[in-house]
Chains A and B, each alone.
Chain A
């Protein structure tokens, strides 16, 4: 890639094409998703009239997660805070890398499509990882726990039931942003092929 190429690309950036705009919106959405929750879960039980809420971000868990962890310890489930330590540490560099890659890809010629491709699979990866951790939590219950329940897989989306608790889970704004990024990137890939 010569300086001339860069210069011509920058010249074009002054008159951005649809590809440029879509990529930048996609990059911005991906970046935004870092500060938004990806997944929410609400637990309802008679003694929690307002329900108990936890929001899972790429980097942290917020809401009444400590209260949920206290309840989980009765069935021998690990506290939510110990989940996905590696993922939480890598989330910021991965997403920022993705933002850079998607945002810059229109300038990078043939390398461009290659750099948009990871953004397409990113939300799938998130879902897979979430499913893995939910399964792991539900299937590594401490056998010495005071209340014994059969191993279970909490619902990723929709209703579930554990003892007197009914749970309601759904994806949230951060995930929707990442999914929008993925759709835009996919659209870009298709257009690239045609170009």
Chain B
């Protein structure tokens, strides 16, 4: 009896709870946001789009899986994106001053920019083209990033501990360059000339005769000193090349270690002259069906240089074209005209070349090339005596993939991905044995339209010995109708593509409103070990060591010596010490500023009105500003980085007495 009552009571209670909950539900649906289904319907999303959105969504507070280092093109910067969200995480100033980072304003960083520009006046921009992450055993090690300035033949070194530019070296003998690629253990960073110029760079009137005789291309092997984190120009060398326009290159690895493959175009040596009724460069440079794949035995070249066979030209050791040919350092193989990509397969066995004006990718075999060299299987020599290997002796396969093949990346399943400039598409095709065998080998398997005019593409670790697969980014030159109009200078378009399945799937579009991202490299996030704060207070970002001029709290001071006023200053929330500096017009002022904070993200800026000074002092960083106080007046200086509730009060005065 009692038990029955209990059951009845329990049932009543359950009903009551349900009723209450039901009531709550009806109330809540009336007041909360639309349901997922309603949202999808209202936006007219397809199931594929919803899947792509979820796949690329990185929830608030969560991190991306990969970092993509992309060139910033004419902005002279490097852009760092997170994948798969494609959020822009960082912009690194390289060849242009970058005021948020105070890059180019401190004594240290101004010298990076200025010193290497000495022969060409002060340059304030660069055309960053090809980022290359440092490698160990042909895999990205995440320690350094190299990038070239195509416009001014410079190469920069970025330290990935603090994502800051540490060095810029200028090629003293070339006018422009193309690309940065590293050897499998980053002993060398290779720079190819882009446009042939008088060698060494000087004035030689541009006639066809002069061009053929005095203009040259160069392969520059910058020696990288990993321990110092710097390129060592004294240990670097160049190989003189014929005046073709050398372009992309790749270092061999494993069986092809010691060799470099490099594209060229304009083997016609066209020099333009449209007003004189000469054919334009465009037409002249595309007359022949074939250009020359450069095959360079750079380890042999390095030996010859070490034996003193080079001549020193403008401080750079150069192996002459004659010596290179005579010693088996340089060979050519015909390649379909106007090629761009030159990419070595993960095992170092194949070289994939995309000729823009040919529907095929052409795959060369390193083994066949070596055999052909051994057999002297030449089809002739070029006008400079460089032996040309017979095309059918060195080609492994040609795969017809579409119009305008450019650049190739690889995945972890034996597939290659090539951008098709004219088709505006990405082609997926299979490599041959040992990657794929029998009927599966050398086959186009998928093609995905992209928007629009794709140049380079980047897959996760897609040019290393161990490609990661999963994602690929198409770096498109045009965006046409993909975004709302923001003036006639359109953003460019990065498209994220899922390559984990049989078919490629377009996941997202990312507008880039900063300049042309030309090429990118993608690395797993955990392989980059960057600092959150400088490990020691007073770290000089150039030496990465504690600077002797750093100051601690309580030791700040101002010292005058003749007409030089030197200030040792600290920055901390929310004050600079000292906060008043008095000088006379014409004094040289040297400020040594240390951010003595240890907290993550406790960054202080330091700007002085009208003196064009702006620093970014991350926690622990030390920097020096040096200027002549040539403008009399009272100039406020202040912290430009919002740092605390009293950020506006983080200020002081520079008095310059007339």
Q: Which residues of A contact B (CB under 8 A)?
A: 64, 66-67, 70, 74, 146-147
How far apart are the CA atoms of A146 and B646 in the complex, in Å? 8
CA gap between A103 and B143 in the complex, in Å: 55
Contacts of A147 in B (CB 8 A): 645
CB-based contact B646/A70 at 8 Å: no
Could you tell me how many residues of chain B have their Cβ less than 8 Å away from some Cβ of chain A? 9
Complex: A146 Cα to B647 Cα, angstroms: 12
**How far does the Cβ of A117 sit from chain B's closest Cβ, in whole Å?**
43
Taken together as a complex, chains A and B put the C-alpha atoms of A64 and B573 apart, in Å, by 15
Q: Which A residues lie within 8 Å of B597 (CB)?
A: 70
Nearest residue (CB) in A for B575 is A73
Closest to A71 in B: B573
Q: How far is the CB of A165 from chain B (nearest CB, A)?
A: 13
Nearest-Cβ distance from residue B281 to partner chain A, whole angstroms = 57
Contact B645 A70 (CB under 8 A): no
Interface of B (DSSP majority class): loop
Least distance between B202 CB and chain A CB atoms (Å): 57
Nearest-CB residue, chain B, relative to A65: B598
Q: Mark B597-608, 1 if CB is under 8 A from A, else 0.
A: 111000000000
DSSP class of A's interface residues: helix, strand, loop or mixed? Answer: helix
Q: Is B169 an interface residue (CB 8 A)?
A: no
B572 interfacial by beta-carbon distance below 8 Å: yes
A139 to chain B, nearest CB (A): 23
What would 9 more interface pairs be, CB under 8 Å, given A74-B644, A146-B649? A64-B598, A64-B599, A67-B598, A70-B572, A70-B573, A70-B597, A70-B599, A74-B646, A146-B646
16 A-B pairs within 8 Å (CB atoms) are namely A64-B598, A64-B599, A66-B598, A67-B598, A67-B599, A70-B572, A70-B573, A70-B597, A70-B599, A74-B644, A74-B645, A74-B646, A146-B645, A146-B646, A146-B649, A147-B645
Residues on the A chain within 8 Å of B649, using CB? 146
Nearest residue, chain B, Cβ from A47: B601
Question: In the complex, what's the smallest C-beta–C-beta distance from A182 to chain B, in angstroms?
Answer: 36
Number of residue pairs spanning A and B whose beta carbons lie under 8 angstroms apart: 16
Return the CB mask of B548-563 against A: 1 if under 8 Å, else 0: 0000000000000000
B623 CB to closest chain A CB, in angstroms? Answer: 21
Complexed CA–CA distance, A147 and B574 (Å): 13
Q: Report chain A residues within 8 Å CB of B645.
A: 74, 146-147
Distance (whole angstroms) from the CB of A93 to the closest CB of chain B: 29
Measured between beta carbons, the chain B residues less than 8 angstroms from A66 are 598
**Complex Cα distance A70/B598, Å?**
10
Chain B residues within 8 Å of A74, by CB: 644-646
A191 to chain B minimum Cβ distance, whole angstroms, is 50
Residues 609-658 of B at the A interface (beta carbon under 8 Å)? 644-646, 649
The residue among B572, B597, B599 with the most chain A CB atoms within 10 A of its own CB is: B599
Q: How distant is B285 from chain A, measured CB to nearest CB, in Å?
A: 57
Least CB separation from B649: chain A residue:
A146
Report B417-452 CB contacts with A as 1/0, cut-off 8 Å: 000000000000000000000000000000000000
Bitwise, B565-588 to A at CB < 8 A (1) or not (0) is 000000011000000000000000
A-B pairs, top 10 by smallest CB distance, nearest first, are A67-B599, A70-B573, A146-B646, A66-B598, A67-B598, A70-B572, A74-B646, A70-B597, A74-B645, A70-B599
Assembly CA distance A149 to B644 (angstroms): 18
How far, in whole Å, are A74 and B646 apart by their CA atoms in the complex?
A: 9
Chain A nearest CB: distance from B53 CB in Å?
A: 27
Q: Which of chain B's residues have a CB closer than 8 A to the CB of A67?
A: 598-599
Q: Name the residue of chain B whose CB is nearest to the CB of A50.
A: B600
Tell me the minimal C-beta distance from B602 to chain A in angstroms: 8
Q: How far is the CA of A67 from the CA of B597 in the complex (A)?
A: 8
A64 and B597 CA atoms in complex are apart in Å by 11
Q: Smallest CB–CB gap between A67 and chain B, Å?
A: 5
The docked-state distance in angstroms from the alpha carbon of A146 to that of B572 is: 15
Residues of B within 8 Å of A146, CB to CB, are 645-646, 649
Give the residues in chain A near B644, CB-CB below 8 Å. Answer: 74
- Across the interface, which residues of A come within 8 angstroms of B599, CB to CB? 64, 67, 70
A67 to B598, CA, bound (A): 7
B572 neighbours in A (Cβ, 8 Å) = 70
Tell me the complex Cα distance, A64–B602, Å: 14
Residues of chain A within 8 A of B598, CB atoms compared: 64, 66-67
Chain B nearest CB, measured from A146 CB (Å): 6
**A66: nearest chain-B partner, CB-CB:** B598
Question: Smallest CB-CB separation from A73: which chain B residue?
Answer: B573
Residue of B nearest to A146 (CB): B646
**Which residues of chain B come closer than 8 Å to A64, judged between CB atoms?**
598-599
CA gap between A64 and B645 in the complex, in Å: 20
User: How distant is B619 from chain A, measured CB to nearest CB, in Å?
Assistant: 10
**CA gap between A64 and B533 in the complex, in Å:** 14
Question: Closest residue to A48 on the B side, CB-wise?
Answer: B599
Chain A residue at minimal CB-CB distance from B644: A74
Q: How far is the CB of B373 from chain A (nearest CB, A)?
A: 60
Residues of chain A within 8 A (CB-CB) of B573 are: 70
- Which residues of A sit under 8 angstroms from B646, Cβ to Cβ? 74, 146
Within the assembled complex, what's the spacing in Å between the Cα atoms of A133 and B646?
28
State in angstroms the CA–CA spacing of A28 and B357 once bound together.
Answer: 84
Report the minimum CB–CB distance from B33 to chain A (whole Å).
Answer: 24
Task: Provide the bound-state CA to CA distance between A56 and B204, in Å.
Answer: 75
Mark contacts of B106-134 with chain A using CB atoms, 8 A cut-off: 1 yes-contact digit, 0 otherwise: 00000000000000000000000000000
- Nearest CB of chain B from residue A123's CB, rounded to whole Å: 32
* Complex CA–CA separation, A50 to B646 (angstroms): 23
Bound form: Cα–Cα A147–B573 in Å:
14
Cα A67 to Cα B572 with chains together (Å): 10
CB distance from B478 to the nearest CB of A (A): 42
